[in-house]
């Protein structure tokens, strides 16, 4: 399992960002290998942070190379290049939760 964290600051109003996030939900939801995505916002800076949980490194890399991923700076009018972090999960507190989700898919 791998986690992709994307952090950015948008030049758009919060309501516009929210609208765009909702418009893109079907495409994000259809991303192969994406187990979960958390949409978050940092209170201090106002930065938006997407926390993506993928079933594998291959799925994560496929997403990073997709038009959906590459379009983020343009769509959200980021004020700088988004900060990207890739993490490998090596231990889970409750692995049975992810296993039951994987079986349900």
| Tens digits of pLDDT across the chain (105 residues) | 999 999 999 999 999 999 999 999 999 999 999 999 999 999 999 999 999 999 999 999 999 999 999 999 999 999 999 999 999 999 988 877 666 655 665
Tell me which residue range forms the domain holding 69: 2-104
Q: What is the CATH number of the domain that holds 50?
A: 3.30.70.100
Q: What is the DSSP letter of 33?
A: T
Phi and psi of 13, rounded to 5°? -70, 155
Instruction: Report the half-sphere exposure of 40 (CA within 13 A, side-chain side).
Output: 14
As for how many domains the chain has, the answer is 1
Cross-strand pairs, 41: 48
Tally the C-alpha atoms within 13 A of residue 17's C-alpha that lie toward its C-beta. Answer: 20
């Amino acid at each position: 399992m791998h986690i992709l964290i994307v952090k950015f600051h948008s030049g758009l109003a919060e309501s516009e960002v929210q609208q765009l996030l909702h418009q893109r939900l079907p495409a994000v939801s259809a991303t192969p290998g994406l187990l979960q995505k958390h949409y978050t916002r940092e209170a201090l800076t106002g930065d938006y942070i997407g926390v993506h949980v993928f079933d594998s490194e291959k799925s994560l890399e496929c997403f990073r190379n997709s038009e959906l991923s590459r379009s983020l700076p343009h769509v959200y009018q980021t004020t700088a290049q988004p900060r990207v972090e890739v993490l490998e999960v090596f231990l889970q507190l409750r692995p049975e939760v992810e296993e039951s989700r994987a079986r349900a898919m």
